[in-house]
A and B are shown apart, each in its own frame.
Chain A
Amino acid sequence: MIEYQKNDTMKYDTVVIGAGLAGLVTACHLAQANQKVLVIANGAGAMLLASGCIDMLGYHPTDSREPLTAPLEKLDDFVADHAAHPYHLFDKQQLEAGMVAFQQLVGDYAGTAARNWLLPSTAGAIHPTCLAPSSLAQGDIQPGGSMLIVGFKALRDFYPALIANNLNAQDLSLKAAALTLDLPKPVAGKTNITPIELAKAFEQASFRQTLIQTIKAQADGHERIGFPAVLGLHHHQEVMTDFQKQFGKPVFEISTLPPSVPGRRLFEQLKQRLQQAGGRLIIGSKVMDGIIVDGQVTEIRMQTANRLRPVRAQNYVLATGGIYGGGLQTDDEGHVWEPIFNLPIEHTTNRHDWFEPKFVSSAGHPVSNYGVQVDGRLNPLNGDGPIATNLFIVGSSLAHTDWVSGRTGDGVAVTTAYRVKELIGITTS
């Protein structure tokens, strides 16, 4: 094991590059373990467009139409079929530990790695997921029964009728009905409203009161009431408690198209946890390059508004994501590269081979698997061994993490984040 030389000029214990799910969760775990942590991100992460749920394993085989209800039981099979997937780096206990640590970090996430919730999506399809905010988890279709799905004309990307019809068209022992309403004051008359703006309106008691009166009359005979995920932003719990009480029956949320309010709630929560633990966050600054000397990263340089500024730490975490997140770059000649440390990325230079003919292909697109190859310590590899032993790769920056097929992306982010804490703890103790 490598022992680090204490260097007084180092400013941080760990610098995390990237503020998506993997980056922020890593940073929170490390800061809570009393590390001095800095997160530098070139923009906010994809969490703001995601469902806010943590998907660990949704389908196996990945082209199966049957969502998994007990994902851990299929994990060995999944890893056997996807030998290079980052899950091969962990055993089941480590995976579960990562999920539990995430739940402890954020609070109010219901579920376990052992079973999946099956949640209605904004298109009325089924979304298998392990951990979900309680408000979304209450929409689980497995108990069956009847539900009323409520939407608003001005929230244009959420169609209760589409959701209800699609749910009813599947054989789910579930009966769904739809209700679309005009918005009451103070947002009455708007022809278009963003989920965030609507979430803020829901935080006003008078707004809720008018809606409750309108909906109650229609909700008779329905066991549950589903809303777009806009039930409060900063005061979500308060809104939920009030609704459950007033309706006298379970109320749940369904993830919307972006902007995602549950994604925003998670983002705000992680930012807050990081700050409470003394961590620092810079969003909007690009890390231009990193220097590796004798198997150690010695420095990275970040672009401030007017100059390049060197930042030093004992350990560095790369959480910049894949091609979509900007962690990898490409050009029209088919090159793919990792722009900060210039880590090797296995890829084909024939761009035709990057894609499947179908956009939503259950087999996944090869391009989604491009990323950094690592060893068991999450250190980047070249042919000879680790490139830098104080550089850890997490989340979608890793090779073979295709987060679309199989739905493993969040699980990879959350478990690698937790693993880094263990690894850094081991090295410095």
Chain B
Amino acid sequence: MNRQHLDDINLSIWEQVQNSADLCVKCNICTSLCPVSNVTDKFPGPKFVGPQAQRFRNPHEISVDESVDYCSGCGVCTLVCPHEVKVMEMNAKARYKLYQDKKSIPLRNRLLGRSELLGQVGSGLLAPLANFTLNFGPMRLLVEAILNIHRDAPLPPFSPKRFRSWFKQSQARGERLQAAKKVVYFHGCSTNYYEPQVGQAAVAVLEHNGYEVRIPKQVCCGLPMLSNAEFWAARSNAHTNIKSLVEFVKAGFIIVGTSTSCILSLKSDYRHILDIDSEEARLVAENSYDICEFLLELADTETLKTDFQSLDDTLPYHSPCQLRAHNMGLPAIELMELIPGVTIQHMQADCCGIAGTYGYKKEKYQIGMDVGESLFNQVKATGSEVAICDSETCRWQMQHGTGAKMIHPVQLLAKAYGLGDF
């Protein structure tokens, strides 16, 4: 089977992923760069668990793939494979089958998959209580004992005010820009329940550039459920989002997001992992942008405002795995370097170790910390009190691993535009 045949034959997206196992020449490039197999032998490596095991997987037999559960899903393997083997996608599907055959998904995994539900419970009025509880040592021991969520895992604090309420209220006060140029903003759960300041910075930066921001109806992108093998639940969320967003796309909007992984779900995972092969899914995918990608395209066409104040700052930046999987380069660096006086130090690390919900799990916490060690040391060596990363769970892990204050690139832009310190 060669690549041309894969392109020619009318296969479903999942069949193409599955057949890509035949393109593996066992070169080991993925093993060489896999962050997980290079710190633990519990995961034998992407080549073994991916294309090699794929040949023996029979949909009608019980899965024996215990080790695939140790794949963090970071996707480095798919990126570095020179032969277009969809290793990470294959592993995600194999993990799904593993839990399907076990006929039970641990409560812990179900909870971690529901960042939205957790956010709804913990954020807002109950935030102080929820945060106190989750910071309370004995409580974390109990959580670890009952749920197997590691006592030291970097759970983010709930925000007392949700992003959506802030947006609605500021809209009611007439503070939101109305303009001919419009984008829709996919904020995701993290911005809504944990870090509304990221969304506020994004809105400020977009409006500063003359874009009216709309916040459409949206639910959790589904990625946390997808990585915890709850495909049906993830698919249901995907359909809800596609249905809501496609109407905007048809009306000429584009979709912009600050969460690297949510936007990657819209761009790619809905189709390539959840196998949603509809025209609507394609339209949503093709019109989704990471916020820095969007702003850099404005810069390329010389329509980005460049009235930046000089910041005179040297800041470490980590490009998360999920961002690299967008295959668009590293727009955040190019964008931030437009700010006079700013120097970005790009950390040489493949992964921070958290990989979504992976590093929260009791049995995987230490693996995650070992994966992230090199990154943490590099950040600490810079001596900077602030570090930058596009992806929320990576920010929380890096804050945990380094003690640095973590911000999204758009927060730095907002500051440089003089729009406020978010």
* A interface residues, Cβ below 8 angstroms from B: 11, 38, 41-46, 48-49, 190-194, 196-197, 200, 234, 258-260, 263-264, 268, 271-272, 275, 280-286, 302-307, 309, 324-326, 329-332
A277, chain B: closest CB distance, angstroms: 13
Q: Which B-chain residue is minimally distant from A49 (CB atoms)?
A: B27
B7, chain A: closest CB distance, angstroms: 10
Q: Which A-chain residue is minimally distant from B271 (CB atoms)?
A: A306
Contact across chains for B267 and A305 when beta carbons are under 8 A apart: yes
Alpha-carbon gap, A285 to B267, bound state (A):
14
A-B contact pairs, 11 of them (CB 8 A): A46-B82, A190-B41, A200-B38, A272-B348, A283-B80, A286-B84, A304-B328, A305-B326, A305-B328, A306-B266, A307-B286
Known interface pairs A200-B39, A304-B327, A305-B327. Does A194 touch B45 (Cβ–Cβ under 8 Å)?
Answer: yes
Q: Which B-chain residue is minimally distant from A309 (CB atoms)?
A: B328
B344, chain A: closest CB distance, angstroms: 10
**Interface residues in B35-53 (C-beta closer than 8 Å to A):** 37-39, 41, 44-45
Known interface pairs A284-B327, A304-B327. Does A197 touch B29 (Cβ–Cβ under 8 Å)?
Answer: no
Contact across chains for B267 and A42 when beta carbons are under 8 A apart: no
Contact across chains for B329 and A331 when beta carbons are under 8 A apart: no
Contacts of B37 in A (CB 8 A): 194, 197
Taking a contact as CB atoms closer than 8 A, the residue among B33, B268, B334, B374 that contacts A306 in the complex is B268
Contact across chains for A192 and B81 when beta carbons are under 8 A apart: no
Contacts of A49 in B (CB 8 A): 27-29, 32
Contact across chains for A44 and B29 when beta carbons are under 8 A apart: yes
Known interface pairs A43-B79, A305-B327. Does A258 touch B285 (Cβ–Cβ under 8 Å)?
Answer: no
In the complex, the 9 A-B pairs of residues with the closest C-beta atoms, listed nearest first: A43-B82, A284-B79, A259-B32, A306-B267, A285-B327, A258-B28, A44-B80, A196-B38, A305-B267
Contact across chains for A330 and B83 when beta carbons are under 8 A apart: no
Contact across chains for B330 and A280 when beta carbons are under 8 A apart: yes
Interface string of B1-44 (1 = CB under 8 A from A): 01111000000000000000000010111011100011101001
Taking a contact as CB atoms closer than 8 A, the residue among B28, B38, B83, B374 that contacts A43 in the complex is B83
A347, chain B: closest CB distance, angstroms: 15
Interface string of B341-369 (1 = CB under 8 A from A): 00000101000000000000000000000
Contacts of A38 in B (CB 8 A): 329
Taking a contact as CB atoms closer than 8 A, the residue among B2, B41, B82 that contacts A331 in the complex is B2
Contact across chains for A282 and B327 when beta carbons are under 8 A apart: yes
Does any Cβ of A come within 8 Å of B300's Cβ?
Answer: yes
Having A46-B29, A326-B83, one finds 4 other A-B pairs with CB under 8 Å, namely A258-B31, A264-B32, A268-B348, A329-B3
B319, chain A: closest CB distance, angstroms: 10
Contact across chains for B328 and A282 when beta carbons are under 8 A apart: yes
Does any Cβ of A come within 8 Å of B288's Cβ?
Answer: yes
A286, chain B: closest CB distance, angstroms: 7
Contact across chains for A197 and B33 when beta carbons are under 8 A apart: no
Contacts of B214 in A (CB 8 A): none
Contacts of B346 in A (CB 8 A): 275
Interface string of B66-96 (1 = CB under 8 A from A): 0000000000001111111000000000000
- Contact size range, B: 35 or more
Q: Which A-chain residue is minimally distant from B373 (CB atoms)?
A: A200
Does any Cβ of A come within 8 Å of B386's Cβ?
Answer: no
Alpha-carbon gap, A46 to B81, bound state (A):
10
Contact across chains for B288 and A306 when beta carbons are under 8 A apart: yes
User: Which one of A192, A283, A285 has the greatest number of beta carbons of chain B within 10 Å?
Assistant: A283
Known interface pairs A304-B327, A305-B325, A309-B328. Does A329 touch B2 (Cβ–Cβ under 8 Å)?
Answer: yes
Contacts of A309 in B (CB 8 A): 328
Contacts of B348 in A (CB 8 A): 268, 271-272
User: Which one of B27, B32, B264, B326 has the greatest number of beta carbons of chain A within 10 Å?
Assistant: B32
Known interface pairs A44-B80, A283-B79, A331-B5. Does A197 touch B38 (Cβ–Cβ under 8 Å)?
Answer: yes
Alpha-carbon gap, A280 to B333, bound state (A):
10
Interface string of B297-310 (1 = CB under 8 A from A): 00010000000000
Contact across chains for A280 and B82 when beta carbons are under 8 A apart: no
Contact across chains for A284 and B27 when beta carbons are under 8 A apart: no
Known interface pairs A38-B329, A258-B32. Does A45 touch B2 (Cβ–Cβ under 8 Å)?
Answer: no
Contacts of B285 in A (CB 8 A): 306-307
Contacts of B29 in A (CB 8 A): 43-44, 46, 48-49, 258-259
Contacts of B2 in A (CB 8 A): 329-332
Taking a contact as CB atoms closer than 8 A, the residue among A284, A302, A331 that contacts B324 in the complex is A284
Known interface pairs A305-B268, A329-B3. Does A45 touch B82 (Cβ–Cβ under 8 Å)?
Answer: yes
Contact across chains for A48 and B32 when beta carbons are under 8 A apart: yes
Alpha-carbon gap, A196 to B33, bound state (A):
9
A300, chain B: closest CB distance, angstroms: 14
Alpha-carbon gap, A234 to B375, bound state (A):
12
Alpha-carbon gap, A48 to B32, bound state (A):
7
Alpha-carbon gap, A193 to B40, bound state (A):
9
Alpha-carbon gap, A284 to B74, bound state (A):
13
Contacts of B327 in A (CB 8 A): 282, 284-285, 302-305
Alpha-carbon gap, A190 to B329, bound state (A):
37
Contacts of A259 in B (CB 8 A): 28-29, 31-32
B149, chain A: closest CB distance, angstroms: 25
A264, chain B: closest CB distance, angstroms: 6
Contacts of A45 in B (CB 8 A): 82
B282, chain A: closest CB distance, angstroms: 9
Contact across chains for B328 and A329 when beta carbons are under 8 A apart: no
Alpha-carbon gap, A38 to B328, bound state (A):
11
Contact across chains for B32 and A282 when beta carbons are under 8 A apart: no
User: Which one of B33, B80, B325, B329 has the greatest number of beta carbons of chain A within 10 Å?
Assistant: B329
A416, chain B: closest CB distance, angstroms: 19
Contacts of B38 in A (CB 8 A): 194, 196-197, 200
Alpha-carbon gap, A405 to B421, bound state (A):
62
Interface string of B268-295 (1 = CB under 8 A from A): 1000000000000000011010000000
Alpha-carbon gap, A11 to B299, bound state (A):
11
A200, chain B: closest CB distance, angstroms: 7
Contact across chains for A43 and B286 when beta carbons are under 8 A apart: no
Q: Which B-chain residue is minimally distant from A285 (CB atoms)?
A: B327
User: Which one of A46, A194, A264 has the greatest number of beta carbons of chain B within 10 Å?
Assistant: A194
B107, chain A: closest CB distance, angstroms: 32
